[in-house]
Amino acid sequence: MADNFYPVDKSKPLANELINLLNRIGSDFASLKVMRLAMIQQQDGDGSQDTHYVTVASNFGYPTTAEAHASFAEVDSFIGTAGASLEQCCSRHKQ
């Protein structure tokens, strides 16, 4: 498709549900990116060691810095690997 946009008839229930779902996913993904940035800003160092996550663990309620570090790594990986395709899908279905 030349314009990279997928128009649908929003009067159709399934089309409307798809568009609404992708809008929510896109909005929630944007919120996840904000949370990732908050974690980065709260790192006590370059983020390469568990000890750099004392503030993150405290503010987010993780029981240990190791769990805070692992959680950040998971979120960071998800955003890095799936983020571009997720954002592209959502943007191509905006109505």
Q: pLDDT tens, 10-59? A: 899 999 999 999 999 999 999 999 999 999 999 999 999 999 999 999 99
Q: Looking at residues 5-9, what average pLDDT do you find? A: 92
The model's confidence at residue 1, banded by pLDDT at 50, 70 and 90, is: very low
Quick check: 72 and 46 in contact, CB under 8 A?
A: no
Task: Specify the pTM.
Answer: 0.90
Half-sphere exposure of 66 (CA within 13 A, CB side): 0
Tell me which residue of 94, 41, 93 sits closest to 72, measured CA to CA: 41
Give the span between the Cα atoms of 4 and 86, in whole angstroms.
14
Give the span between the Cα atoms of 77 and 27, in whole angstroms.
19
Instruction: Look at residue 95 in the predicted model and tell me its pLDDT.
Output: 85
The DSSP element (H or E) to which 55 belongs, if any, is helix 54-60
Instruction: Look at residue 92 in the predicted model and tell me its pLDDT.
Output: 94
